[in-house]
């Protein structure tokens, strides 16, 4: 059921309320046609009068109940005033005259009129909410030009309303480690916005699309990581080899010690490589240096970060993918969710860096300039290595002949 929000007479946000409840408030006069309302799908706050049909308010309001005047109260009869006392006049003596004033009648009292209620004056209408200002929707960053499939419509989560959980697939969810934007001043007319969770990933985006990293993006990232790990491993191997040179010159015991040192070098090399991949994959960004450069990352199938132990397991599972003639890596080009064998074993996905974030529209499907450059250089190196290998075979064959 659609949830509505409205601004009261003090311009304070109220809600959420269902559509029938909002219609009831309108009929009771608590909200008016000029009241500003908002629901999911509206770009900004609008007057309630624009949504009469949607709220079922086309019928006229019922007339107010007639005011029944109370019956007049019969006035009690006024008691007659008592006659004024006139003192008796004694007869005057003969030959004398005494003037007596005539009694003056008292003024008649004005009769008390019965109360007759007059017509009740209609109440003055309340002043409508001022609408001189314009409501601006929340500004969102401009999306980079991408070719994305249409997004499925679904209710968005709000920062000031309890949104119903959206039904999402197992890998159409969350939002990651991006720097939080500065908090804007509170306004009851601001559109809802998603809030970050403590784990660094955002609440599930109902219309979020997940762009999977294709096979060639993964190849370019692996080429960069191989160069970085190769240089670092060569430095460690060179330092450890310096200790092996004196041992090789000290007879059979020294030779055995040199072999043991070579074993140690290989173990240290594997440990350093595993720490590199597992550490970066389980980090906040979920990507090694090569994947960061290409713009992809490793996540669980639900969009969450992988743990360090899962990252270590994924590294050794990747070694298994390489041992079977790299078929485990080639599976990423043909499987439905672009997963290699090691991804399937460890329940991971390789996706665009903006997947499972608050800005899924920033994802990129195309390879990108850097990816193309890395692939071209990597291809030239492979061709050069192949030519050198063929030339070496031919040289050895000519010497043998």
The listed range with the strongest mean pLDDT (5-14, 139-148, 189-198) is 5-14
Give the domain range for residue 20. Answer: 3-55
SS3 305: coil
Provide the 8-state DSSP code for 352.
Answer: E
Report the pLDDT averaged over residues 257-284: 88
Q: What is the pLDDT of residue 241?
A: 73
Say whether 13 sits in a helix, a strand or coil: strand
DSSP state of 168: -
pLDDT (average), residues 275-301? 95
Res 151: pLDDT: 39
72 pLDDT band, cuts 50/70/90, is low
Domain boundary among 55, 74, 89: 55
* pLDDT surpasses 90 at 194: no
Cis peptide before 16 (omega within 30 of 0): yes
Contacts of 262 (CB under 8 A, 6+ apart): 244
- 126 pLDDT band (50/70/90 cuts)? low
Phi, psi dihedral angles at 15 (to 5 degrees): 130, 180
pLDDT, mean of residues 275-300: 95
pLDDT exceeds 50 at position 3: yes
What is the percent of the chain where pLDDT is above 90? 35
Of residues 35 and 292, the one with the higher pLDDT is 292
pLDDT tens, residue by residue, 148-179:
444 344 444 443 443 444 444 444 444 445 55
Query: Are 333 and 201 contacting, i.e. CB atoms less than 8 angstroms apart?
Result: no
How many domains, the chain?
Answer: 2
- What is the rounded average pLDDT for all residues in the chain? 74
Confidence at 122, pLDDT banded by 50, 70, 90: low
In a domain, 106, yes or no: no
Q: Which one has a higher pLDDT value, 250 or 347?
A: 347
Residue 31 has pLDDT above 60, yes or no: yes
Percent of the chain past pLDDT 70, that is, above it, reads: 59
What is the average per-residue pLDDT within 114-128? 53
Question: Are the CB atoms for 3 and 39 separated by under 8 Å?
Answer: yes
pLDDT at 344: 95
pLDDT score at 314: 96
pLDDT digits (tens, 9 = 90+) for 315-329: 999 999 999 999 999
Q: How far apart are CA 29 and CA 47, in angstroms?
A: 15
CA 248 vs CA 30, 234, 254, 257, 267: distances in Å = 95, 20, 5, 8, 20
pLDDT at 205 over 60: no
C-alpha dist (Å) from residue 180 to 42, 160, 175, 206, 357: 25, 17, 12, 20, 12
Specify the pLDDT at position 264.
84
* DSSP conformation class of 206: T
pLDDT of 254 above 80: no
Residue 23 belongs to domain with CATH number:
3.30.1490.40
- Residue 18 in any domain: the answer is yes
Look at residue 193 and tell me if it is in a domain.
no
Q: What is the average pLDDT across 284-311?
A: 95
Per residue in 262-271, pLDDT (tens digit) is 888 889 889 9
* Coil vs helix vs strand at 241: helix
For position 102, what pLDDT does the model report?
61
pLDDT greater than 50 at residue 279: yes
Sign of CA dihedral 36, 39, 40, 42: negative
Q: How far apart are CA 399 and CA 244, in angstroms?
A: 33
């Amino acid at each position: 059921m659609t949830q509505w929000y409205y601004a009261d007479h003090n311009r304070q946000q109220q809600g959420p309320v269902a559509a029938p409840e909002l219609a009831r408030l309108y009929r009771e006069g608590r909200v008016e046609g000029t009241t500003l309302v908002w629901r999911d799908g509206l770009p900004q706050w609008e007057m309630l009068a624009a949504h009469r049909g949607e709220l079922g308010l086309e019928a006229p309001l019922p007339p107010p109940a007639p005011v029944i005047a109370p019956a007049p109260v019969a006035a009690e009869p006024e008691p007659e005033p008592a006659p004024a006392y006139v003192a008796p006049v004694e007869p005057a003596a003969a030959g004398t005259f005494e003037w007596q004033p005539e009694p003056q009648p008292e003024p008649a009292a004005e009769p008390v009129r019965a109360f007759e209620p007059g017509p009740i004056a209609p109440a003055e209408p309340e002043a409508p909410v001022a609408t001189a200002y314009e409501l601006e929707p929340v500004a969102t960053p401009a999306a980079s030009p991408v070719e994305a499939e249409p997004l499925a419509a679904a209710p968005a989560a709000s920062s000031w309303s309890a949104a119903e959980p959206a039904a999402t697939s197992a890998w159409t969810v969350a939002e990651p480690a991006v720097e939080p934007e500065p908090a804007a001043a509170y306004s009851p007319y601001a559109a809802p916005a998603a809030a970050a969770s403590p784990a660094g990933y955002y609440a599930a985006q109902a219309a979020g699309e997940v762009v999977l990293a294709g096979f060639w993006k993964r190849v370019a990232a692996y080429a960069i990581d191989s160069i970085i790990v190769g240089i670092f491993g060569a430095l460690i191997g060179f330092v450890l080899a310096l200790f092996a040179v004196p041992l090789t010159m000290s007879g059979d015991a020294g030779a055995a010690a040199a072999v043991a040192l070579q074993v140690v070098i290989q173990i240290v090399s594997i440990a350093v490589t595993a720490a590199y991949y597992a550490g970066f994959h389980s980090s906040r960004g979920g990507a090694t240096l090569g994947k960061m450069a290409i713009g992809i990352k490793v996540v669980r199938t639900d969009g969450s970060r992988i743990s360090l132990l899962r990252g270590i397991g994924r590294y050794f599972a990747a070694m298994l993918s390489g041992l079977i003639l790299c078929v485990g890596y080639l599976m990423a080009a043909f499987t439905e969710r672009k997963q290699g064998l090691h991804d399937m074993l460890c329940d991971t996905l390789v996706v665009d860096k903006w997947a499972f974030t608050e800005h899924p529209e920033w994802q990129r499907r195309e390879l990108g300039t850097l990816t193309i450059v890395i692939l071209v250089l990597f291809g030239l190196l492979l061709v050069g290595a192949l030519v050198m290998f063929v030339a070496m075979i031919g040289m050895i064959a000519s010497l043998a002949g």
